[in-house]
Amino acid sequence: MSAAASDAAGREIRAARMTIPRLQARSLRDVKVHHKSYEASDWMYFILSTGEAVLSGSIPDVYFQMFMSLCHACRLLIRPGQLSRAELLVADDHLKKLCEVCHLTVYRNSFHLVPVCRFPIAALLKIVPNICSCGPAWISWQFPTERQIGTLPDPIGSRSEPHPSLTNAIHAKYQAELIKTFGETFCPDKWADATGMPIPGAEKRRKGSFSVPPDADEQVHLLLPRTVPCELLDTELEHLKTALNLEEV
């Protein structure tokens, strides 16, 4: 990708960040600048949501086709729920196509270059067999672990003794949560009097949100965007149209 195309993609991502809820905005970081700190959730958001429109017209067609093969496979594999055998075969075909085009284009279809092929490319061929053996991807993905690891640096109060400091902070945190849970569950009246907080059990909903569906057991809370959504104009609109045409939408 040229510097001009990368800068244009970065401008599109920065502009889009202001039109969505804050919790989702972190996944709209400039991939050129922040790719070394991207986590699995960031890459998933980029592959499933932003990458197609941002990269359309910004990279050579052959590499965009490789990226779209990965997108098609991920849309089948990265989702909660069951996968049929037909869907697994379709996803496997997309991943094999990506690896085939990569070998033909990047490694010039040379058998002698196979030992220098990057391991993550070859590892894509193991995804579908692993799902067949271990179950859907969502039962073993690493997002909860990444979120937990991301919370650990803040409680470290001592840089000279980080491990004891972190251990004490985690101990205090869960001890406080245990006391709070016990008080709210077994003596809510006394807990409310002692803390000055209302008795737990009232409906908790973030300000500025609404639930869909309203009468279902499982509620989905949709947060309002921080700013009014902007119209798609010029380059953004053309890239989106190109992406939709490729999807035959």
Residues facing residue 209 across a β-bridge: 223
Number of domain units in the chain: 2
CB atoms within 10 A of CB 63: 16
Residues 135 and 51 in one domain: yes
Both 121 and 184 in one domain: the answer is no
State the Cα–Cα distance between residues 113 and 99, nearest whole angstrom. 14
Taking all residues of the chain, what is their mean pLDDT, rounded to a whole number? 80
Q: What is the pLDDT of residues 34-83, one digit of tens each?
A: 878 887 777 888 888 888 888 888 888 999 999 999 999 999 998 777 78
Q: Identify whether residues 86 and 20 lie together within a single domain.
A: yes
In this structure, the answer to whether residues 160 and 140 fall within a common structural domain is no
Are 232 and 240 within 8 A, CB to CB? Answer: yes
- Looking at the structure, do residues 108 and 137 belong to the same domain, yes or no? yes
Domain that holds residue 173: 152-223
Element (H, E) at 211: strand 209-212
Are residues 239 and 187 located together in one domain of the fold?
A: no
Please report where in the chains the tokens 């699995």 appear, as a residue: 40
One domain, residues 13 and 82: yes
Q: Phi/psi at 209 (nearest 5 deg)?
A: -125, 160
Q: Which residues are CB-neighbours of 242 under 8 A, at least 6 positions away?
A: 56, 57
Q: What is the distance between the alpha carbons of residues 241 and 49, in angstroms, rounded to a whole number?
A: 14
Cβ within 8 Å of residue 19, ≥6 positions away: 225, 226, 227, 228, 229, 230
Identify the helix (H) or strand (E) that includes residue 222: strand 220-223
Decide: pTM greater than 0.75: no
Same domain assignment for residues 50 and 99: yes
Q: How confident is the model at residue 202 (pLDDT cuts 50, 70, 90)?
A: very low
Judge if 169 and 113 occupy the same domain: no
183: closest CA among 170, 196, 169?
Answer: 196
Assess whether 58 and 34 both reside in one domain: yes
DSSP letter at 57 equals T
Same domain, 218 and 237: no
Does residue 105 sit in the same domain as residue 128? yes
